[in-house]
Amino acid sequence: MAWKTPRLMAEHHNAPTTGEQPAAAQPRLLIVEDELMVAWELVDTVHELGWKVCATVRTQDAAVESALQLKPDAILMDYRLGDGGDGLAAARRIREAADVPTIFCTAYVVGLRPEVLSVARAHLISKPVRSSSLREALAWATALGKPTAKPGEGETLV
């Protein structure tokens, strides 16, 4: 089941605050994270970095459904999801239908690196998430959306 943070539901900006891009220009991110407090922190960090969160979800099925319906510019995906879900399986299902860059965010970086990077257009950052790592990963996702990007390239940031 999907859940949204109260901040997301109450989000109605008429004009950008200092450092923010206008809403129409903001890239959209789907956050897939099963721990509520981690999701809230990610939402705050992503907003500070100029991205709009289109939804936060906690399960594998909700991730796939939300990605296909909302068509985000990128996905920030935890590896272990609620209800026993698997972020890697969700990303593979999404890749079958949509070309969305996926940034995996996990505490299990070392053991999962080859498996995660087998997914096209995937990035890997470690938990706890540093703002600088997330900024670099989001810049990577943004660059993939530009015509000069090389499709299929994945890279690791830690």
What's the half-sphere exposure (Cβ side, CA atoms, 13 Å) at 51? 28
70 or 144, which is more confident: 70
Which range is least confidently modeled, 62-71, 106-115, 118-127? 106-115
Q: Which of 65, 2, 62, 58 is nearest to 32 (CA)?
A: 58
Burial class (CB in 10 A: 0-12, 13-18, 19+), 141: buried
Q: Could you tell me the two tokens for 102?
A: 């996926």
Region 119-127: what's the mean pLDDT?
88
Task: State how far Cα 24 lies from the chain centre.
Answer: 19
> What pLDDT is stored for residue 14 in this prediction?
31
Q: Phi and psi for 93 in degrees, rounded to 5?
A: -65, -40
Cα–Cα distance, 30 to 53 (Å, whole number): 6
DSSP state of 130: P
- pLDDT averaged over the chain? 81
Tens-digit pLDDT profile for residues 38-86: 999 999 999 999 999 999 999 999 999 999 999 999 999 998 998 999 9
Q: Phi and psi for 50 in degrees, rounded to 5?
A: 90, 15
Amino acid symbol at 118:
S
> What pLDDT is stored for residue 68 in this prediction?
97
Q: Could you tell me the two tokens for 26?
A: 């903001």
